Structure 1
Amino acid sequence: MLLARSPSSDVVHVVHITNDQSRSIMEEAGPTPSKETLELEKTVLYLRGWKLWLLTAGLWIGLFLSSLESTIVSTSLVSITNALNGFILRDWIVTAYLLSYTSFLTIYAKFGDIFGRKTMLLLALTLFTVFSTLCGVSSNIVELITFRAFQGIGASGIYSMIMAITPSIVPPTNYGKYMAIVSTVFIVASVLGPVMGGVINSRSSWRWIFLLNIPGGMVSFILVAVYLPMSEASLKLSPRQRLRRKFERSTLARIDIVGIFLLLASSVLLIFALEEGGTRYFWNSAAIVSSLVIAIVLVIVFVIWETFLSESTMVQEPVFPPSIAKDRLPATTLATSFFTSFAFIAMVVNIPQKMQAVSDFSPVEAGLASLPLLLTAPLATALSGFLVENLAVPPFYLITIASALQLVGVGLTCSFPADAIAVPTAQYGYEIIIGIGFGLGLTNLYIFARAVVPETNLAVMIGALTQLRVLGGTISLAVCATILNNHTAPRVEQVVSPQQAQAISNSLLAINDLTPAQQIAVRSAFAEGYHKQNIFMAVLTGIGLITSCFLWEKTPRKAV
């Protein structure tokens, strides 16, 4: 690989050639390269200098805001639901965001191939900023949940498009280091999210959790619009011609409408059934049973349809080409991403809730209690980039070690007394183990995917990896909420009146109005429910360790 820079340009020319070709070029290249030399060169243009850093700042801000929404809201759920009288629907504030976020990741990746990644990123930033504003002015819990779903659609596009755009911004030799820079987003969001959520709820209105996205979203939009280059084909067209081309019949014909519908419908029905089963509806009710059955049927139909579409001569392009999952390594990478995400997202949301429901922590204290988990995960992500890039450690080893650390950390949390109200000091150490495990595995799954999937399918593969990772976390969150509600509801009703039980379901602050004996009984019931959640997450994390072992090769490949 040769790197060359024009003195008057901020673009690096990266030329991929073999050693033999290199010698030939060095011998033949003069003031005017030969025809043979030009045919040997495969040149890709990359930004550099201040333009690269301004674009990076725009991408960083957008990714930061979308990442912050998970951690800052998770520590603010109790305060938000206290204000809007909807504690029983608290998890839908997170689930609605994660559900739409999950459902659109692969769709955005495919739309980026059809309509252009810059166009889709700008659209995602617009949606995220607009619906953040609407979340901030919501007047009831249903409005907030609805706007959070649309906010998640925007956030999904931000993440998906940035992950797809990043490989085209810097040369492959600098990809690991650049990803380490991008990973600082998660470090800052993890640290600031819980603290900001607690401070905002203690010092101001919860509405600022969403309204703060407005200026940042606008800055990110401007930087991306100005500094993210368009494709060479688009540069030759006028703005009107570019807009017209995006909506030509031939372009729209490439959209897999059936596949998109099946993917969205199955995701929504599955999460609805898992979230509402045992809470608003009985598990054997028609609403839950029919939702689960239809979701499973739609998944099967989706697989059949995508297979048919990929093998047919139709113009439509499948949302997810089934050929990606036919080989062992890509399929196992997807499965590992799915199962290893179960514990992390649920713990990010549940730890602050547990601290407030069980140990009577304030929002600020609850946010600080989850910092060991939230801080070590992105730090481990940055470390993994260094190990793969600088020390040439094969990603397989790091993924397997990461899965094992997660299982150890989650398993150790199950060793606490089930009804313990006080927070054991060891919990913070276990959070660190879980965070390191998740952080080591996250980036390496993407790096490994780049090594085993053709470049033409890389964007969709990355979108699918992220979609399965978030889907696993969303399912885990829904199941954990069901476990908690099913365990605590009957036990709380045994020690308090129906009116008091309803008050607790609306707001955890109602626990403080009970007698000391009732408070201990209620908090113990919540503690037992969270303990059962940890057992469930340990089992799924163990499956993730098993799937990661199937990534083994006789000679483990290194990053490309």
Structure 2
Amino acid sequence: MSLRRLVTNPVLLLCLPPGFLIIYAKFSDILGRKFLLLVAVAFFTVFSIVCGSVSGMTQLIVFRAFQGIGASGIYAMVTVIQPELVRPEKWGHILAAVAMVTVVSSVLGPILGGLINDHGSWRWVFLLNAPAGALATAMIAFLMPTHFPNQGHPEAYVHLRAKFSRASLARLDLLGAALLLAATVLVVFGFEEAGSRYPWASAPILAALVVGAVLFVTFLFWERVVGRPHRVQEPIFPLRLMKRRIFAGLMLVGFLTGPPFMTVLINLPQRIQAVDGVSPFDAGVRLLPLLLASPVATAVAGQLVTKLKVPPFYLAMFAASLQMLGIGLCSSIPYQSGAALYGYEVLMGFGFGMGLISLIIYAPLVVDREDLAVTMGAITQIRVLGGTIGLAIGATILNNHLASHLPLLLTPTEMQQVAQSLSFVNGLPDATRDAVRQVFADGYNSQMRAMLYFSAATWVSAALLLWEKKPRTVVDVKI
């Protein structure tokens, strides 16, 4: 993997440390939202600067993982903080504001990233985070109340020194955090590398998946022990929550939404490059309909829930239907994408945006305030884990398809060059180039059909587990 590919691969930043999402969320209940958010921003900013200054691949991989720890913390804390900023009837405004920020970043991200990648040094991808991180740190430090979200409640005030007292630190489930983190890293590694760097049946993959599964079972056993009455420690994930049907439904729907979302986000630009023969920058620009539709759907969902009191259940079902329709249409593209793809992207973007935010809106309706942070962290983490597994499944489908069809068209040397750079396809003779592009198109369509099954499972799970005779609305919020 080249430095440029490692730098510009958006999955690596999120998938390297996914176990930290729920850990940040739970620890913020004890150490405070503001402190954990500052820690996350500091990690992200400092290690962004370090990544932009390294001189070798190994250093970049290591420090990019630390940068990802900060990124996962920012993602987790912003998700947790959103519903605590205002009263439930004002959620629509907060969601709309965050959606607008997402719109701007979604537009500027691919454009600036492509320009930097094509015309400048890859180091600026990291170094530009320094001034942004410094500004964010200053704003959080000076504008965010120290006792958020408990300002105005003197009985809830806890001084910073008290938060790090022996009694306070004893509440941290450090062993549970270590078990969850180790299990998640091993499982993510196994699914990320299976079928690409290592065969599925290879010793490294089997060892990672088996050990990761054992550690996850151990984590569940430990959480049951910690969750007993009169224990000082607070479990990272209270297992009692899984006894609630709707909570279990949110977790399952989040997990099943992850594979289609991540596969479309990562593999659709690759399809455009391989089949349409465009540059990475142009492929990123062509993804804008999806990137823009998703935050717009988030803002619309927020207004529907708060202004019109529409139950999140209906939003979740509508979103799952749009997602299914968009992915089904996307899996039927015969060859080059054409203008129809933009319409399919809008359908998928609305489905993903409305579906993901409906799960976040659902959380305060089904859990008490003391469980809200860990619930939102768990939903976010399970979706990332599902996305990682979906990427592995999609990569296996594509690689198997290419391995069985490309040798009929290309020499081993040409296949190696195609594997290193999709732009090599553009230099092949016309007849061979078109045949190779058709093979790629069929392979990516097979990926999408597999994701269609996940989307159908999402719809069924939401219908069965989230349904109620009287669906909950924002007036039923428990925080």
TM-score normalised by L of structure 2: 0.91
Instruction: Select which of 217, 241, 259 maps to 2:133.
Output: 217
Task: State the structure with bigger RCO (CA 8 A, min sep 6), 1 or 2.
Answer: 2
1:459 to 1:523, Cα distance in 2 relative to 1, 3 A: same
Aligned mates of 1:515, 1:465 — CA distance in 2: 49
CA distance in 1, matches of 2:294, 2:275: 25
Segments of 5+ residues of structure 2 without an aligned counterpart are none
1:536/1:90 CA distance change after superposition, 3 Å: farther
1:312 Cα deviation (Å)? 4.6
Taking the aligned partners of 1:496 and 1:90, their CA distance within structure 2 comes to 30
Report whether the alignment pairs 1:178 with 2:94.
Answer: yes
Distance between the aligned counterparts of 1:165 and 1:185, measured in 2? 16
Query: Matched residues in 2 for 1:500 and 1:404: separation?
Result: 41
Query: Deviation per CA, 1:4-25, whole angstroms, max 9, x where unpaired?
Result: xxxxxxxxxxxxxxxxxxxxxx
Aligned-residue Cα RMSD (Å) equals 2.5
1:359 and 2:276 are equivalent in the alignment: yes
Contact 1:276 1:482 survives alignment (8 Å): no
1:200 aligns with 2:116: yes
Match of 1:122 among 34, 38, 42: 38
**Residue of 463, 466, 471 corresponding to 1:551:** 466
Q: Distance in 2 between matches of 1:519 and 1:206?
A: 30
Cα shift readout 1:310-369 (whole Å, capped 9, x = no counterpart): 015332211011112211011111111221232122211112221112211122321121
Q: State the Cα deviation string for residues 438-489 of structure 1 (Å, max 9, x = none).
A: 1212222111111111111011111111111222222222322233233324
Of the three residues 201, 204, 213, the one matched with 1:296 is 213
1:463 equivalent to 2:377? Answer yes
Which amino acid counterpart does residue 136 of structure 1 have in structure 2?
G
Partner Cα separation in structure 2 for residue 141 and residue 486 of structure 1: 29
Matched, 1:447 2:364: no
CA pair 401-516 structure 1, distance change in 2 beyond 3 A: same
1:165 counterpart residue number? 81
Shift of 1:150: 1.7
2:14/2:71 contact within 8 Å kept: no
Q: Which moved more, 1:436-445 or 1:398-407?
A: 436-445
> What are the superposed Cα offsets for residues 474-524 of structure 1, whole Å, 9 maximum, x if unpaired?
222232223323332454444333333333322233334444344334333
SS of corresponding position for 1:102:
coil
Secondary structure of the residue aligned to 2:196 is coil
More deviation, 391-400/350-359: 350-359
Instruction: Write the letter of the residue equivalent to 1:290.
Output: A
Q: Does 1:324 align with 2:324?
A: no
Separation of aligned partners in 1, 2:56 and 2:436: 27
2:69 alignment partner AA: I
- Deviation of the 1:133 alpha carbon: 1.9
* CA distance, structure 2, for counterparts of residue 330 and residue 316 of structure 1: 23
**Shift in Å at residue 243 of structure 1?**
5.4
Q: How does 1:319-468 map to 2 (within 5 A)?
A: 319-417=236-334, 420=335, 422-468=336-382
**TM-score normalised to the size of structure 1?**
0.78
The residue correspondences of 1:31-180 to structure 2 (distance < 5 A) are: 84=3, 93-180=9-96
Cα distance in 2 for residues equivalent to 1:473 and 1:302: 21
Given that residues 16 and 188 in structure 2 are in contact (C-alpha distance below 8 angstroms), is that contact kept between their aligned partners in structure 1? no
* Deviation at residue 253 of structure 1 after TM alignment: 1.8
Residue 415 of structure 1: how far off its partner (Å)? 1.7
Cα distance in structure 1, aligned partners of 2:51 and 2:423: 23
How far apart are 1:555 and its partner, in Å?
Answer: 0.8
> Of the candidates 413, 423, 429, which is equivalent to residue 499 of structure 1?
413
Residue 483 (1) aligns with residue 400 (2): no
- State, as a whole percentage, how many aligned pairs show the same letter: 46
Alpha-carbon distance in 2 for matches of 1:142, 1:533: 32
Unaligned segments of structure 1, at least 5 residues: 1-80
Contact 1:132 1:213 in 2 (8 A): yes
SS of corresponding position for 2:324: helix
User: Separation in 2 of the partners of 1:553 and 1:516?
Assistant: 58
Distance 1:115 1:90, change over 3 A: closer
Relative distance call for 1:355 and 1:99 in structure 2 (3 A) is same
CA distance in 1, matches of 2:7, 2:423: 14
Q: Tell me the distance in 2 between the aligned counterparts of 1:234 and 1:169.
A: 11
Per the alignment, do residues 307 and 414 of structure 1 end up closer, same or farther by CA in structure 2, a change over 3 Å counting? Answer: same
Do the aligned partners of 2:176 and 2:235 also contact (CA within 8 Å) in 1?
yes
Letter aligned with residue 247 of structure 2: P
Give the secondary structure class of the aligned counterpart of 2:227.
Answer: helix
CA distance in 1 between partners of 2:458 and 2:363 (Å):
17
Aligned partners of 2:467 and 2:160: how far apart in 1? 46
Amino acid at match of 1:119: F
CA distance in 1, matches of 2:235, 2:378: 13
Determine which structure has more spread, i.e. the larger CA radius of gyration: 1
One-letter code aligned to 2:34: K
